[in-house]
Amino acid sequence: MIQETKVLTRHENVSGMEEVENYIRDGGYEGLKKALTMLPQEIVEEVKKSFLRGRGGAGFPTGYKWSFLPKEKTKPHYLICNADEGEPGTFKDRVIMEHDPLLLIEGMTISGYAIQSELGVIYIRGEFKWIAEKLECAIDNARRANLLGKNIMGKGFDFDIVVMRGAGAYICGEETALIESIEGKRGQPRVKPPFPAGVGLYDCPTIINNVETLACIPIILQNDADAFKRMGSFQSAGTKLYGISGHVNKPGLYEYPFGTNLKYLIMQAAGGIRNGKKLKAVIPGGLSSPILKADEINLDMDFDSCVKANTMLGSGGIIVIDEDTPIPEVALTTVNFFVHESCGQCIPCREGLSKIQQILTALLDGKGQNGSIETMLKITQSVNGSTLCPMGDAAAMAIQSMITKFREEFDTLLK
Amino acid sequence: MSASPSPYLTQESEYNLSEDVVTKITEMAASFPEKNSALIPALHLIQDQFGWVPPPTIKQLAQLLKTTPNKIYGVLTFYTMFNLKPVGKYHIQICRNVSCSLLGAKHIIDYLTKKLHIQVGETTADGKFTLTLVECLGACGMAPVMMINDKYYENLDEKKVDQILKTLK
């Protein structure tokens, strides 16, 4: 039996954590207190040492991302918290923000100090209005307690946070589309390089980290990098929030040591498959991650193990599918989503995905033609790798994996 | 055949931004290093005032943020949360993505269209309800999910939908 390790969600069932006194009484702000006695570079080193990797999906080591900022500060540095949480299957950041907003705010303040920034922006998905309001309330409380604003804790460090709500565009979870959106533009990803650490928000050096990543920073600082590394697996340290949805008995958010086995999460933590049904498939890391068959779920849920299994840990949003569900229908829902959310900039993504949508719709309507499955696969191959942002690849790989792994279900539609 | 005039060029004085909204937009603009960052927050505020973003308000907003109506129009039409025409008093938005579909979103959608006697995308004759399908709302563990105005309703079934609609006067 693997124990659930509640670190980031330890206040999930506690109310009033937006009040500074309550948060401090439970050990809050010890991380910032310690951080402000250190040099910014020492914090970057500690975070590097902790093996903390970005929780938004890419898994890039956070400390190394921070160290890509210019060595000489000639322009303002900005810190952006990516709270756009739009990846289907994902509902984790909202729990941190709703139940422990000051943990995120403390994490951002420490990170702001480490990267020498004076302004942080929390970009939260527009639908989470009540959560944005809670964050604003917590920010006001922190300001009143001199934990944000000028001369924080009397240590001469100035840092403030603004909350901005998006407006329903999935693509704004992509770093550079998010920056465009904060600048008041359409959320269309930029050409990279330059990367945001060099040229980001308002053309200034910018660091963008996910909510869950930033919430780990106070935990690392309170103790130390080694304590953080002891939770989790070799290359993926700390705990991970796994959101389990679909055909399980107990859907919900679970926090376990990084690298917990997928089969355990589904069959034990989430109580197994509903109504005594058999498992057919699992989408392990949000809809962008390639699907797994029932016999492929003996898998450690960390970044590297997932890559080895030809899928992605992504956001840790696990979607569980039972034996009664036709995969071609799941594939159509998937492609409908990506067509709807394509920003329209790159032709392979915009046109290629809508072509797949047309073919698959026809196939499910009983109007499939010989060769239409091959055509869909060919299109996924040409979309993959030919777009400015990872959305094209994600959509292509997700659909490709559904077709190849459940080919017989697609073939049946042609008969 | 002549092109019909864009509805975004009409001017109606009943769509004046309230003083409160103008103040909030001005404050928002000041809290960012660049004014234009207040654009999306401002569109939310306008939608809060009118229930949608009426075309005449775009010109007023352009003046406040020192930008052009065209640029605002380009942004406004990119983001799906902004209503380009009036919606009912209660805007029901149901998730149709994978996790919700697995747990019966389609059934809930069908149930609502029958109950309200409208199709997806339509508004009831009394102007009370508009039904829209949306992509993932980030509540997959509580599927199926819908949003009515600013509020989430989770773990839906027919009975729960009935109860919710009853509370909406």
Domain ranges of chain B: 7-76, 90-167
Q: Does A76 touch chain B (CB under 8 A)?
A: yes
**pLDDT over 90 percentage in chain A:** 97
- Please indicate, yes or no, whether residues A161 and A310 belong to a single structural domain of this protein: no
Residues 322-361, chain A: which have Cβ within 8 Å of B?
A: 325, 329-330, 333-334, 336-337, 340-341, 343
Which of the residues B43, B61, B78 would you substitute to probe the A interface, choosing the one with the greatest number of A C-beta atoms within 10 Å? B78
Q: Compute φ and ψ for B92, nearest 5 degrees.
A: -90, 120
Tell me the C-alpha distance between A109 and A159, whole Å.
7
Average pLDDT over residues B54-71: 95
pLDDT tens for each residue of A88-106: 999 999 999 999 999 999 9
Answer whether CATH 3.40.50.720 is correct for domain B90-167: no
- pLDDT-derived band at A83 (thresholds 50, 70, 90) equals very high
Contact: B31, A253; criterion CB under 8 Å: no
- pLDDT-derived band at B3 (thresholds 50, 70, 90) equals very low
Q: Is the pLDDT of residue B2 over 70?
A: no
Question: The CATH number of B7-76 is which of 1.10.10, 1.10.3470, 3.40.1350, 3.40.50?
Answer: 1.10.10
Q: Does B137 touch chain A (CB under 8 A)?
A: yes
Q: Does B7 touch chain A (CB under 8 A)?
A: no
The backbone region for B104, taken as left when phi is positive above 0, alpha when psi lies in -120 to 50, beta otherwise, is: left
Tell me the C-alpha distance between B44 and B28, whole Å.
12
Q: Compute φ and ψ for A83, nearest 5 degrees.
A: -120, 35
pLDDT tens for each residue of B72-92: 999 999 999 999 999 999 999
Q: Which of A322, A345, A365 is the last residue of a domain?
A: A322
User: Could you give the 3-state DSSP secondary structure of residue A320?
Assistant: strand
- pLDDT-derived band at B6 (thresholds 50, 70, 90) equals low
Bridging pattern class, strands A317-322 and A239-246: parallel
Contact: A337, B147; criterion CB under 8 Å: no
Alpha helices in A58-128 (DSSP H): 62-66, 93-99, 101-114
Q: Is the pLDDT of residue A1 over 80?
A: no
Q: Does A94 touch chain B (CB under 8 A)?
A: yes
- Please indicate, yes or no, whether residues A263 and A148 belong to a single structural domain of this protein: no
Task: Please name the amino acid found at residue A347.
Answer: I
Which residues on B lie below 8 Å from A182 (Cβ)? 32, 37
Average pLDDT over residues B48-74: 96
- pLDDT-derived band at B13 (thresholds 50, 70, 90) equals low
- pLDDT-derived band at A415 (thresholds 50, 70, 90) equals confident
Which of the residues A94, A162, A323, A330 would you substitute to probe the B interface, choosing the one with the greatest number of B C-beta atoms within 10 Å? A162
Question: How far does Cα B10 stand from its chain's mean position?
Answer: 21
- Please indicate, yes or no, whether residues A355 and A376 belong to a single structural domain of this protein: yes
Which residues on B lie below 8 Å from A202 (Cβ)? 33-34
Rounded to the nearest integer, the mean pLDDT of chain A is: 97
Answer yes or no: are the C-beta atoms of A315 and A92 closer than 8 Å. yes
Contact: A94, B138; criterion CB under 8 Å: yes
Residue A346 lies in a domain: yes
Answer yes or no: are the C-beta atoms of A295 and A256 closer than 8 Å. no
pLDDT tens for each residue of B111-137: 999 999 999 999 999 999 999 999 999
Q: Is the pLDDT of residue B12 over 90?
A: no
- Please indicate, yes or no, whether residues A184 and A249 belong to a single structural domain of this protein: no
Average pLDDT over residues A155-161: 97
> What confidence score (pLDDT) does residue B137 get?
97
The CATH number linked to A93 is 3.40.50.11540
Residue A5 lies in a domain: no
Nearest CB partner across the interface for A330, out of B40, B98, B140:
B98
Contact: B97, A333; criterion CB under 8 Å: yes
> What confidence score (pLDDT) does residue B1 get?
40
User: What tokens were used for B78?
Assistant: 């990119």
- Please indicate, yes or no, whether residues A339 and A313 belong to a single structural domain of this protein: no
The CATH number linked to A367 is 1.20.1440.230
Q: Which of A262, A295, A322 is the last residue of a domain?
A: A322
The Cα of A48 is separated from the nearest Cα of chain B by a number of Å equal to: 30
- Please indicate, yes or no, whether residues A365 and A332 belong to a single structural domain of this protein: yes
- Please indicate, yes or no, whether residues A183 and A39 belong to a single structural domain of this protein: yes
Average pLDDT over residues A166-170: 97
Q: Which of A322, A356, A376 is the last residue of a domain?
A: A322
Answer yes or no: are the C-beta atoms of A166 and A172 closer than 8 Å. yes
- Residue for token pair 């650490």: A197
pLDDT tens for each residue of A20-45: 999 999 999 999 999 999 999 999 99
Residue A14 lies in a domain: no
The total number of structural domains in chain A stands at 3
- Please indicate, yes or no, whether residues A369 and A331 belong to a single structural domain of this protein: yes
- Please indicate, yes or no, whether residues A36 and A157 belong to a single structural domain of this protein: yes
Asked if domains B7-76 and B90-167 share a fold, the reply is: no
How are strands ordered across the β-sheet holding B151-153? B129-134, B90-95, B146-148, B151-153
| Structural domain span for residue A213 | 20-230
Residue A15 lies in a domain: no
The backbone region for A27, taken as left when phi is positive above 0, alpha when psi lies in -120 to 50, beta otherwise, is: left
The backbone region for A146, taken as left when phi is positive above 0, alpha when psi lies in -120 to 50, beta otherwise, is: left
Angle (deg, nearest 10), helices B55-65 and B19-31: 40
- Hey, which residues does B131 pair with through a beta bridge? B92
> What confidence score (pLDDT) does residue A2 get?
80
Interface predicted TM-score (ipTM) over 0.85: yes
- Please indicate, yes or no, whether residues A150 and A226 belong to a single structural domain of this protein: yes
Which of the residues A9, A12, A90, A134 would you substitute to probe the B interface, choosing the one with the greatest number of B C-beta atoms within 10 Å? A90
Answer yes or no: are the C-beta atoms of A101 and A17 closer than 8 Å. yes
Residue A1 lies in a domain: no
- Please indicate, yes or no, whether residues A224 and A284 belong to a single structural domain of this protein: no
Which residues on B lie below 8 Å from A206 (Cβ)? none
Residue A10 lies in a domain: no
Rg (CA), chain A: 22
DSSP chain B: -PPPPPGGG---GGGPPPHHHHHHHHHHHHHSSSGGGGHHHHHHHHHHHHSS--HHHHHHHHHHHT--HHHHHHHHTT-TTS-SS---SEEEEEE-SHHHHHTTHHHHHHHHHHHHT--TT-B-TTS-EEEEEES--S-GGG-S-EEETTEEE-S--HHHHHHHHHH--
Contact: A245, B141; criterion CB under 8 Å: yes
> What confidence score (pLDDT) does residue B5 get?
47
Residues 54-73, chain B: which have Cβ within 8 Å of A?
A: 65, 67
- Please indicate, yes or no, whether residues A334 and A311 belong to a single structural domain of this protein: no
> What confidence score (pLDDT) does residue B62 get?
97
How many inter-chain contacts (A to B, CB under 8 Å) are there?
143
- Residue for token pair 């693997």: A2
